[in-house]
Structure 1
Amino acid sequence: MPFALFLLGVAVFAQGTSEFMLSGLMPDIARELGVSVGDAGLLTSGFAVGMVVGAPLMAGFARRWPWRRALLGFLGVFLCVHVVGAMTGSFPVLLGTRVVGALANAGFLAVALVAAVGMVAPDAKGRATSTLLGGVTLACVVGVPAGALLGQAWGWRSAFWAVAVLSVPAVVEVRSVPDGGAELERPAHSLHGELRALREPRLLVLLLLGALVNGATFCTFTYLAPLVTNVTGLGGSWVPVVLALFGLGAFAGVRVAGRFADGRPGLITGAGGCALCLGWGALALGAGEPVLAFGLVLALGALSFGVGSTLISQALYAAPGAPTLAGGFATAAFNVGAACGPWLGGAAIDSGGGYRSPVWVSAGLVAVALVAVPLNRRALRGRTTASWTV
């Protein structure tokens, strides 16, 4: 893999830390700003909504920009809004910074996906995608638990300041990403042609599956902190440990999936999808047992991100006629799930379902994905698209 691809992963790490760190800070934010935990979950949903809108919009807006210029611009905006978020005492303003930050993050990730697959051989999209998304999983392993520890020691604002500081070296490192060149020439597809290519049935089904899987992931991940303290019965000091376990699983899942995503996508998505559904159900039933809960969190992190990253790479394979916008729409679809998941989990909690209820919702979302596959089997046929049958 090109060294510049690993530099992109570093920047994605900074942004992933911001996206996921609220899982460990949610109770403190809710208490200080005077909102319910369910309402505080809208900060995660708001970020995801910004990603949904921003991914295709920013990808289309920046499609003719040199990669380096686009990446630096998006990263600069991302840094600035975290400074504002760290200083505000208003929940609506904080929510607004999350949306704007998400727009910048979406643009960065959409361009980064295009740059990543443009820097490797045509049959290595899965490995390139997994390398890039390794930054996201490292954010779960290191960034999110560190954010939770900072929040416990110095308040949730310190985590926002940390992301802003972390973004500074990322800006410097991204300057090493190539702007293109003869060996990295981007295909000359018209915007209209790319939009037309996005109507490919296989792509649409893959985007639907990605939204459902990611919705399940974020539905539970957003509320892991109260699950650990209220259901598992552990103290707040255990929250960073559980978040780190999920992140370690996610990192392992992405790395393993990257080895097989180009040649055996059905093995990952088929077996992984079934195991994911069963795993969420097992966590809902066994969350009261610490050892069992820890093991399941680790396994579910691996399954969620392994299946998810494979679906992203297969979406890129399914849209060869939309090399610029395919990454943006894949990002958008996954963040539809990231927006709906926390909202559904928060609604389940606020309706009296307790802190186990988001986990049951996660199991239900993956079950819907498994049911949707046979209904769209014809659309999923093809060597380079993922099938959920092994």
Structure 2
Amino acid sequence: MSVPLLALFLTAFAFGTAEFVIAGLLPEVALGLDVSVPVAGYLISGYAIGIAVLGPLLTLATKRFNRKTTVVVLGALFAVGQALCAIAPNFELLMAARVFVSALHGAFFGMAFVISTGLVPPERRGFAVALVLSGLTVSNVIGVPLGTAIGQLFDWRATFWAVGALGLIASIVIAVFLPKTAGSESTHSSFAREFKALGRQQVYLGLAIATLVMLAQYAVFTYIAPLYLEVTRLEEEMVPIMLLIYGVGATIGVFLGGRLADWNLGKSIVLVLAGQVLLFGSLYFVAPYPLAMGITTFIWGGVNFAFGSPLQSRMLLWANDAPNLTSSLIPTGFNVGIAVGAILSANLLEQGMGYHNLPWVGTVVITIALLLAIISVVWEAKSTNRPPTGDADTIIVAH
């Protein structure tokens, strides 16, 4: 495995930790900035909106720049952004720093996919992309629990300093070892073909399902720390352990989703979403019981991350002749869902709903996503249309 690929993985890990670790630190951040926990939850929404909107714009603005130079600069600016988060004196400036970092996040992953596939032979391009993507998953398993523990042991600001240092180290490794010409080759489909692919129901309904699934997940996960503390009544030091349990389940779910995708794309999407409906509902009933909550958290993490591979694979199969626009919109759909989920729960909490009832929000939204998936699969089965043919080397599964 090449050092540049490992550096890209490490940078992806840093970005993933920066995005998700705030969920484990919300009570501390809220206390430190003298805001309510629901208001602090907007830090997750702001980051997600930045990825969805500013990331693609930054990618377009830098498309003529040398890819190596751009990625190194993004890594350095990421470290600066984390430092700004660490020293932010109030909520508004912390939000501004988070949005700044999120724009870098969105641009980095678009470039990292292209660069990673150019570092390996054609037959290993899937592995290269998977390695970059695994940085996000591993950040949930290791980065989020470790970052939460650092924040609780020292101070929540220490977490931002640590993540920023990690990003800076990764960017230095990229600067030293990444070839100057990495990512210089690219292929471009016509805009007409790209937009035509979006008109296929497997693609646009897939985007709707992706948005709804992430909305459901982050309507609950945004406030998972106070849920554990106030409803499950865990000690504060148990929160990182529960997040680790969730992350281990998520990692297993990623591989399970890949196996299900190889089995049957449509049926696996329906099966995973049905499992999510059951798990979200179960969270409400087991929340007051620590052992049951731990077991359910593990399974919940698994089913949450199992849906990605089947859904994305199906969407890109049906956009095989023009995958660029579709693959770039998938993370946009994910992050719009994250932002809306966090905002929705914040509003419901401010109206007095209570953390214990948040799983019902996820249950309702996931049920809608399941119904859309069933409609899409049945529609496809009754149609005579077949997936288009295209260059398999251009297919990238995004997250």
Question: What is the distance in 2 between the residues matched to 1:60 and 1:367?
Answer: 36
Cα deviations by residue, 1:13-40 (Å, 9 ceiling, x for unpaired): 1001010111111011111211111100
Equivalent residue, structure 1, for 2:290: 290
- Over aligned residues, Cα RMSD in angstroms? 2.9
Does 1:52 find its partner at 2:52? yes
Q: Relative to structure 1, is the Cα distance of residues 31 and 181 closer, same or farther in structure 2, using a 3 angstrom cutoff?
A: closer
Letter in structure 2 aligned against 1:269:
I
How high is the TM-score relative to the length of structure 2? 0.86
Preserved CA contact (<8 Å) 2:21 2:144:
yes
Instruction: Spell out, residue by residue over 1:252-302, the C-alpha distance to the aligned partner (whole angstroms, 9 max, x if none).
Output: 211333345355333532211110111010011111111111111111111
TM-superposed deviation, 1:136: 1.1
8 A Cα contact 1:60 1:191, kept in partner: no
1:137 is matched with which residue? 137
Cα distance in structure 1, aligned partners of 2:265 and 2:46: 31
- How far, CA to CA, are the matches of 2:21 and 2:42 in structure 1? 14
Letter in 2 for 1:320: N
1:355-374 deviation digits (Å, cap 9, x = unpaired): 12222111122111011224
State the TM-score, normalizing by the size of structure 1. Answer: 0.88
Equivalent position amino acid for 2:328 in 1? G
1:330 partner SS: helix
Q: 1:200 to 1:348 in 2, by over 3 A?
A: same
Larger CA deviation: 255-264 vs 105-114: 255-264
When residues 306 and 118 of structure 1 are mapped into structure 2, their CA distance, relative to the original with a 3 A threshold, is: farther
Structure 2 counterpart of 1:261: 261
In structure 1, stretches of 5+ residues that fail to align are: 386-390
Distance 2:299 2:16 in 1: 20
Take 1:312 and 1:124, find their aligned partners in 2: how far apart are those partners?
19
Q: Answer yes or no: is 1:94 the counterpart of 2:90.
A: no
Task: Name 1:111's counterpart in structure 2.
Answer: 111
What amino acid is the match of 2:75? L
Rounded to whole Å, the distance in 2 between the matches of 1:191 and 1:73 is 29
Query: Would the aligned equivalents of 2:270 and 2:373 in 1 still touch at CA under 8 Å?
Result: no
CA shift digits 1:95-136 (9 cap, x unpaired)? 011111111101111222344566678898876654332211
2:284–2:356 CA contact under 8 A, matched in 1: yes
CA contact (8 A) 1:85 1:94 kept: yes
| Distance verdict in 2 for CA 1:264–1:339, change over 3 Å | same
Bigger radius of gyration, 1 or 2? 2
What is the letter of the counterpart of residue 49 of structure 1?
I
The corresponding residue for 1:219 is: 219
Q: Is the 8 A contact 1:125 1:313 kept in 2?
A: no
Taking a change above 3 Å as real, the CA distance of residues 383 and 6 of structure 1, as seen in their structure-2 partners, is: farther
Letter in 2 for 1:334: F
Aligned: 1:84 with 2:84? yes
How far off is 1:198 after superposition? Answer: 3.8
The alpha-carbon deviation at position 75 of structure 1 amounts to: 2.4
Distance 1:35 1:90, change over 3 A: same
Most deviating of 368-377 and 147-156: 368-377
Structure 1 partner of 2:171? 171
1:181 and 1:220, CA in 2 relative to 1: closer, same or farther beyond 3 A? closer
Q: Quote the offset at 1:318 in angstroms.
A: 3.4
Q: What is the letter of the counterpart of residue 224 of structure 1?
A: I
Q: 1:147, 1:181 → 2: CA distance?
A: 32
Hey, what does 2:392 align to over in structure 1? none
Aligned residues: 384
Instruction: Give the gaps of 5 or more residues in structure 2.
Output: 390-399
Matched residue SS, 2:187: coil
1:388 maps to none
How far 1:178 sits from its partner (Å)?
5.5
Distance in 2 of aligned mates of 1:64 and 1:328: 18
Aligned partner letter, 1:144: V
Structure 1 counterpart of 2:213, one-letter code? V
Q: Which AA in structure 1 matches 2:96? A: G
Maintained 8 Å contact 2:68/2:182: no
Deviations 1:307-359 (A, max 9, x none): 12442344343333444443321111100111011112222222222112222
Shift of 1:89: 0.7
Amino acid paired to 1:35:
V
Residue aligning to 1:278 = 278
**Which has the higher mean CA deviation after the structures are superposed, 129-138 or 223-232?**
129-138
| Higher alpha-carbon deviation: 11-20 or 266-275 | 266-275
Check 1:167–1:313 CA distance in 2 against 1; reply closer, same or farther (3 A cut). farther
Using the TM superposition, give the Cα deviation of residue 213 of structure 1 relative to its aligned residue in structure 2, in angstroms. 1.2
Matching residue's letter, 1:290: P
Corresponding residue of 2:337:
337
